[in-house]
Amino acid sequence: MSPIPLITRAEGYGDRTAVIASEGTFTYAQLLADSAAVAACLLEGAADLDEARVAFLTPGGYHYVATQWGVWRAGGVTVPLATSHPKPELAYMIEDSGATIVIAHPQYEDTLRELAEERGLRFLLTPDILETPPTAPLPDVDPNRRAMIIYTSGTTNRPKGVVSLHTTIEAQITSLVEAWGWSGDDHILHVLPLHHIHGIVNVLGCALWSGAVCDMLPAFDANAVWERIERGGLTLFMAVPTIYARLVQAWNAAPPERQAAMTRACAQLRLMVSGSAALPVQTLEEWEDISGHRLLERYGMTEIGMALSNPLVGERRPGYVGAPLPGVGLRLVDEDGHAAPEGSPGEIQVQGPAVFTEYWNKPEATASEFVDGWFKTGDVAVLEDGAYRILGRSSVDIIKTGGFKVSALEVEDVLREHPDIAECAVVAMEDLEWGERVCAALVLARNGALTLQQLRDWSRERLAPYKMPSRMIELTELPRNAMGKVVKPDLSKLFVEAEQQTQPTAG
Ligand code: AMP
C-alpha cells in the first residue's frame, strides 16, 4: 500500500474508470500501473527522489495525471507549469523551484527541452516515461513530506511558490468531499488549467479521492463544454465566473431548439460550482435562467485551499460565499487587530490542516503572512446574517476615498446592471484631493455608448456619491490572467496613462 493518502484510496478502486481524456479511457488500476512506471523512470534505480522538484507541462489529460502521481510515488515534489505562460515565466519557475527534472508533453517539447538543456537538467517526454517497465520497489513516502509547489499569480512581485504537503492536499480534498457530497457515482467535466489549485485539488483531486470519473478537456472551449453536457452522464461541473459568462454567450448564440436541449441536459447534473474570483450576481442569475442551477459560490486561495462555501443543501445567497468549510478555522480581523463584529468588514484569516506550510525558499515572506498561527489572506469580507460577503483584496479592491472605504466588487456589481455595460472592473487611482479615486474600466455592450457624465447620472440613484466612478475608460476587453481574473494592477496603469495624456504638456 502506498502511504500517500490519495494513492492508497485508489488502490481500492480497481477497474473503475478514473480518467476520460483525449488519450483514451483509463481505470484506476491502469493509472496505478502507469504512475508506477513514471516513478520507476524518474528514480533510475535510486531509492527515493527525496523531495526533488519535478517541473512538468502537459495539457489537461491523462499524461498530466499519470505524471503527477508518478512524481509523488517516486518521492518527488510536483511543480505544475502553466500552458499559458511565456518562456521567461516558465524559466523563472524552473529556476526558483530548483527543479532537477523537467517533463513535457510532446506539444511543449521545443520550449521545455531548450529551457532544461540550457540549465543542464534532466529532460523527459510524457509518452516515454509512461512506458518504462516498473523495476524497483517504490519508496514509502511519509504523507508529512512536501508534495507540490504551486506558483501564485503574483500581481506586483514575482510569483511565490506555495508548498503543500501530502497531508495538506488530503485536508483540502476531504473538506470539499464532505461539504459537496462527492461519491464514487460522480462524473465531473474538467476544463480548468492544471497549474492552479481549482483544477488540481477541487476537481481532479476530489474526483480521484472519491473513485469518481474525471472527464478532461485539454482546454476550455464553450462549444465543446456544451456538447459534452448534452451528451449526458455528468453529475458535476466547476468553473470560474468568466467560463460561466462564456457558456451563457454560447447558449444565447444557439438556435432555440438547441437552447432547449442545452437547458434540458443541465438538469442531469447535481451541482455546479463557481469560484476563484467574484461571481457577478448577473452571471449567477443568467446561469440560473438557462441551466436551472443556482451556482454554489465558494471562496478559497492557493495558500489555504477552500475556506468558505455556500451550502450543498439550503439557501445559496447571491453575492455571498456562505460559511466556513469543514476543518477550516476562520476569523475576520479589523485594522486594529481586533475581531470584527458581525456587519463590520475585516481581513479573512485562516488556520487549519488545509493551510500551506511555506513559500518555497522565502522564510521571511512566509513569516510575514502569519499572525499567531493564522494566515492573513489579504482579502476583506463582512459577515451578514450568517453568510460571508467578500469585499475584495485589501491591496487593490478596497478603495480609500475621501475618508470612506469602497469595495470595488460592490461597485462593479452595480455597474453591471447598466444595459450598455457588458463587463467592468473598478480600481483605485491615487489622487491628491481624495486620497484615491474610484475608476471604472468598461467594456461596452454591442451598440452601447456611454459618457462619464451619463454613467454618473445613472449611478446617482444606485450608489452613494463617494462610490460613484469619477474616472472612466472604455476598453475592448479587460486584461485577464489564465484563470480569467482581471489583472487590476495592469488596469491601474491604463488609468495613469489616460490621465497623463489629458494633462497639458509643459512648455
Ligand atoms: P488563487 O490563489 O489564484 O486561487 O486566488 C485567490 C484569490 O481569489 C483570493 O485571495 C480572492 O481574492 C479571490 N477569490 C477566490 N474566490 C473568490 C470569490 N468567490 N469571490 C471573490 N474573490 C474570490
Average pLDDT over residues 49-70: 98
CA of 239 to the centre of ligand 1 (A): 13
CA of 301 to the centre of ligand 1 (A): 6
Cβ within 8 Å of residue 383, ≥6 positions away: 332, 340, 342, 343, 389
Contact 32/19 with Cβ under 8 angstroms? no
Q: Is 177 in the pocket of ligand 1 (CB under 6 A)?
A: no
Whether domain 187-353+369-391 has CATH 3.40.50.12780: the reply is yes
State pLDDT tens for residues 199-255: 999 999 999 999 999 999 999 999 999 999 999 999 999 999 999 999 999 999 999
d(CA 144, CA 370): 20
Average pLDDT over residues 26-33: 97
Read off the pTM. 0.94
Cell 520507476, residue?
Answer: 40
Residue 43 is inside which H or E element, if any?
A: helix 28-43
Task: Transcribe 27-39 into DSSP letters.
Answer: EHHHHHHHHHHHH
Equal CATH topology for 5-16+25-142 and 187-353+369-391: yes
Whether domain 398-500 has CATH 3.30.300.30: the reply is yes
Burial 474-507 (b: 16+ CB within 10 A, else e): eeeebbbbebbbbbbeebbebbeeeeeeeeeeee
DSSP label of 156: S
Q: Which of 298, 251, 292 is nearest to 274 (CA)?
A: 298
Q: Is 150 in the pocket of ligand 1 (CB under 6 A)?
A: no
Q: What percent of the chain has pLDDT over 90?
A: 91
pLDDT of residue 156: 57
pLDDT of residue 251: 98
Question: Residue type at 452?
Answer: L
Give me the residue spans of the domains in the chain: 5-16+25-142, 187-353+369-391, 398-500
Pocket test for ligand 1, best of 200, 296, 379, 481 (most atoms within 8 A of CB): 379
Residue 216 is inside which H or E element, if any?
A: strand 213-216
Average pLDDT over residues 439-463: 94
Confidence of residue 161 (pLDDT cuts 50, 70, 90): very high
Q: Is 99 in the pocket of ligand 1 (CB under 6 A)?
A: no
Asked whether residue 131 carries a pLDDT value surpassing 70, the answer given is yes
pLDDT of residue 501: 83
Asked whether residue 478 carries a pLDDT value surpassing 90, the answer given is yes
Work out whether the CA dihedral 293, 302, 281, 252 comes out positive or negative: negative
d(CA 129, CA 425): 45
Asked whether residue 315 carries a pLDDT value surpassing 60, the answer given is yes
Q: Is 393 in the pocket of ligand 1 (CB under 6 A)?
A: yes
- Top CATH class, 5-16+25-142: alpha beta
State pLDDT tens for residues 322-375: 999 999 999 999 999 999 999 999 999 999 999 999 999 999 999 999 999 999
Cβ within 8 Å of residue 255, ≥6 positions away: none
- Continuous H helices in 232-331: 241-253, 256-266, 281-291
Task: Transcribe 318-334 into DSSP letters.
Answer: TT---EEPTT-EEEEE-
Name which residue sits closest to atom 19 of ligand 1, judged by CA.
Answer: 299
Specify the ligand 1 atom closest to the Cα of 162.
2
Asked whether residue 506 carries a pLDDT value surpassing 80, the answer given is no
Name 190's bridge partners: 216
Asked whether residue 110 carries a pLDDT value surpassing 80, the answer given is yes
Q: Is 275 in the pocket of ligand 1 (CB under 6 A)?
A: yes
Name which residue sits closest to atom 10 of ligand 1, judged by CA.
Answer: 301
Name which residue sits closest to atom 6 of ligand 1, judged by CA.
Answer: 301
Cell 452595480, residue?
Answer: 414
Pocket test for ligand 1, best of 283, 298, 301 (most atoms within 8 A of CB): 301
The three cell numbers of residue 496 are 495613469
Confidence of residue 502 (pLDDT cuts 50, 70, 90): confident
